[in-house]
Amino acid sequence: MRGHVLRRLPSALLILFVASLVIFAVLRLVPGDPATSLAGPDAGPETVAAIRERLGLDDSLPSQYLHWIGGLLTGDLGPSYAIGGQSADLISDGLGATVELTAAALLFVIALGTAFGVLGATARRGWVRAAVRALTTGALAVPPFVTGVLLVLLFAVLLKVLPPGGHVSLLTAPDLAVQYLLLPALCLALPSAAVLGRYLKDGIERALAEDYVRTATAAGVHPRRLLWRHALPNALPPAVTLLGMQTGHLLGGAVLVEAIFAWPGLGQLAEQALTRRDYPVVQDLLLLLVTVFVVVQLITDLVYAWLDPRIRWE
């Protein structure tokens, strides 16, 4: 196990290192001087010089890079220039809201995906299987911003049972917070749930066609036990890899869903930082998102190996 992690680590670190270089370079390629744009049109040269000084823009590029990475490693991200406050505070607030949304969406993905998979593979009535197929095809084909608007139209405008957007902290008012959470999480989860459902359906169908299932049926094992204890676990490993990849997609997709539902997460922060040219925040955010993505993939590999003993860690 430890060997496996160690073997995987270098390439993950390499990707992170190159990504950090790319992000660092991207923000140095931005046309115009960030200090001038941060200072505003009316600022005098002293103000611009002061901002350059604070941003460390007069240092050499390698020392700027090292300063940035050093700050990241020690947790001192420095102040945000345009939005105000500390970069680290802004990011941790946004991260909280995004994680909340992504975690809720992940629960939906697992629940809906398993339901789609099991129903699609084993439902006795043809129309149930057809409905599941239509639902997964639709959820996959239609972009989230369309599903998002449709969900708002249905649940907030027509039925008036859920709020159309906004955010309430889970800590202050859990019951209200859940109402605000439902629509965005569902919107974010649907495409991934459809992918997972299709994979599980194929996996379960393949597992149910195996010889050992026939043997077990002949030996009198109950079909339900056969499904949940034998077919489903065998369909899981590829589904878990998929779930890992989908977690990355969820984080990326959260950026969009946050914009539709006015959810104050990292996506909204990124949008705000970009439009107000708060480059230090943009830089930290991009690297954070890539890091999360890489870590999720690493975890996926490990869970995959744990679920499928045929994969050796050595």
- Output the smallest distance, CB 49 to other proteins, in A: 24
Angle between helices 174-208 and 144-151 (to 10 degrees): 130
Q: Which of 38, 88, 118, 152 binds other proteins (CB under 8 A)?
A: 152
Q: Is 140 in the site for other proteins (CB under 8 A)?
A: yes
Tell me if 280 sits within 8 A of 272, measured CB to CB: no
> How many helices (H) does the chain have, and how many strands (E)?
13, 0
- Output the smallest distance, CB 251 to other proteins, in A: 6
CA distance 251 to 241: 16
User: What are the structure tokens assigned to 16, written together?
Assistant: 């992170």
Find the helix or strand (DSSP H, E) in which 120 lies. helix 87-122
Compute the CA torsion angle 199, 200, 204, 205 (nearest 10 deg): -40
Per-residue binder mask for other proteins (CB under 8 A), 238-257, x = binder? ----------xx-xxx-xx-
Q: Is 206 in the site for other proteins (CB under 8 A)?
A: no
Only segment of 17-25, 103-111, 166-174, 177-185 that touches other proteins (CB under 8 A): 17-25
Only segment of 24-32, 73-81, 176-184, 222-230 that touches other proteins (CB under 8 A): 24-32
User: Which residue in the block uniquely carries the two structure tokens 């946050």?
Assistant: 258
Residues that bind other proteins in the complex, under the rule CB under 8 A: 14-15, 18-19, 22-23, 26-27, 29-31, 137-138, 140-146, 149-150, 152-153, 156-157, 164, 248-249, 251-253, 255-256, 259-260, 267, 270-271, 274-275, 279, 282, 286, 289-290, 293-294
